[in-house]
Amino acid sequence: MRLTLKITIAILLGVALLFSLNSYLSIQRERAQLKERLSREARHLGESLRVMLTEIWRIGGEQAAIGFLENSNLVSGPLKVRWVWLEGQAAPRYLPRFSRDELSPLQKGETFSLLAESKEGHDFLVTYLPVMTAGGRPGAIEVSESLDELHGYVRESLRRSALLMVATIGSGLLLMTVLGSFWINRPVRKLTEQAERIGAGDFSTAVTVSGRDELAILAGTIDRMRSQLAEAREAEQAANHAKIQALEKLRHTERLATVGRLSAGMAHELGTPLNVISGRAKLIAGQDLSPEETARSARIIGEQAERMTAIMRQLLDFARRGQARKQPVELSGLIKGTLDLLAPTARNQGIDLHWEAEEGSLTVNADPGQLQQVLLNLAMNGIQSMPEGGRLSLQLKKDCASSPPEGRAAENGSWCCIRVEDQGVGIAPENLSHIFDPFYTTKDVGRGTGLGLSIAYGIAEEHGGWIEVASTPSEGSCFSVFLPQATRGEKG
């Protein structure tokens, strides 16, 4: 409606300006024509009077001629006629309305007209016709006519023009309002609603504006944009789905690689219970045992079998590709389970595992399988960096002072920090800025994919956290995983 009002006001102002200019020019033209007509009438009357005046002056003298002019006022209607002397002394009644300098054209015998104003404020058109008397003294016939008729005509013209302008503006405003509602307001309202739907992400509704004007063209452009955005969103969703699937495959591949590195330690760990089972089975098969000893050997075989089953189940649970699902995770229990997976490999390579945690429970909202993958990747990197053995330390504590990267924030301002520290060969300073890049690795060929740290950092980011690293060559490295602490509502 505002656009219609603006257009209507602009058009009506233009119409009013043109109408006013036309009215002004028309009134000025008609006024000039009326003045010309009045002047022409006065000249015609004056010419007639001058002929008769000259003849009467010649026959009857000055008094008769002047008396004739005075008596002519009785029949001349709105025209007033009198005699004036142009030179010499004269009674006030015979003096012209204007100075002799203003009447200089009369000295040349010319007839002309001037505008004069009376003491009462009325305007007059005064016409002078020169007359040379018999005695040689110049005089003139003064014919004056009131312009009240002209002023009345101008006022009436102005009144009619004003009324016509008001009627034109009123009817134009009404007409533009009605037409603007159909031609502008309704299409604009449709386009606005469509733009709001598109802004809200609804690309299902098409908009059509009939006609071939600019608004219809704009509606077609917006509808094509809607279709393109809908196609782009579908393509983006498909690309995101494919990206998520590819990322999950990479994570699962890295998980299997970690399982492969753990297998050597697991194989050694399974060797002891297998030997016990084999020995006890041979004793039972020898048939030299008493019933009590046979029962005891069978019980030992069952316990060792359960031990191997638990070890294999733990390894298979980690290797199994499950559905990502965030849930409240108590970090101490998760880290202890991770240490159980690492223990065989660590013992096999002479690594001492050290575990330290603050008192109390620290919980995060996370996917336990993905979080365990982060810890295993970091821990396996630490174990592989200590070929001669050493100590791998895991620490869990609450950290409130760390400055998170831009865009990361914990709801309650508290962060849980898991530190994985080794005594390995360390990382060169020039490599620190690249260690989280995909496929970047400093390990020998066949010992690393270059995806472990990149995947670990990606998982930390998806959980609202990040990973920091500090390393000194020949002394070791420390990886710190920061995760936002779960609120009470998230803990359930």
Give CA angle at 259 (258, 264), nearest 5°. 105
Comparing CA positions, the residue from 250, 306, 297 lying closest to residue 278 is: 297
Own/partner pairs for 452-456, CB < 8 Å, 24+ apart? 452/254, 452/257, 452/258, 452/377, 452/380, 452/381, 453/377, 453/378, 453/381, 455/250, 455/251, 455/254, 455/373, 455/377, 456/373, 456/374, 456/377, 456/378, 456/481
Comparing CA positions, the residue from 344, 338, 343, 319 lying closest to residue 266 is: 344
* Paired strand residues for 310: none
Dump the DSSP string for 17-41: HHHHHHHHHHHHHHHHHHHHHHHHH
Q: Cα torsion for 204, 209, 210, 211, to the nearest 10°?
A: -140
pLDDT in tens, 228-287: 888 888 888 888 888 777 767 766 666 666 666 566 556 655 666 776 677 767 767 776
Q: Is the pLDDT of residue 369 over 50?
A: yes
What is the spatial distance between Cα 315 and Cα 335, in angstroms, rounded to a whole number? 15
For residue 74, the SS3 value is: coil
Residue spans per domain, the chain: 2-156, 326-492
pLDDT in tens, 135-177: 778 888 888 887 777 777 778 888 888 888 888 888 877 877 7
Dihedral pair phi/psi, residue 485, rounded to 5°: -70, 140
What is the spatial distance between Cα 460 and Cα 471, in angstroms, rounded to a whole number? 20
pLDDT in tens, 1-24: 566 677 777 777 888 888 788 878
Looking at 3.40.47.10, 3.40.80.10, 2.40.280.10, 3.30.450.20, the CATH number of the domain 2-156 comes to: 3.30.450.20
Assign a CATH topology to domain 326-492. Heat Shock Protein 90 (3.30.565)
Is residue 183 classed exposed, middle or buried when 0-12, 13-18 and 19+ CB atoms within 10 A define those classes? middle
* Res 213: pLDDT: 76
Residue 200 tokens, joined? 């809200």
Q: Cα torsion for 46, 47, 48, 49, to the nearest 10°?
A: 50
* Res 205: pLDDT: 79
* Res 478: pLDDT: 93
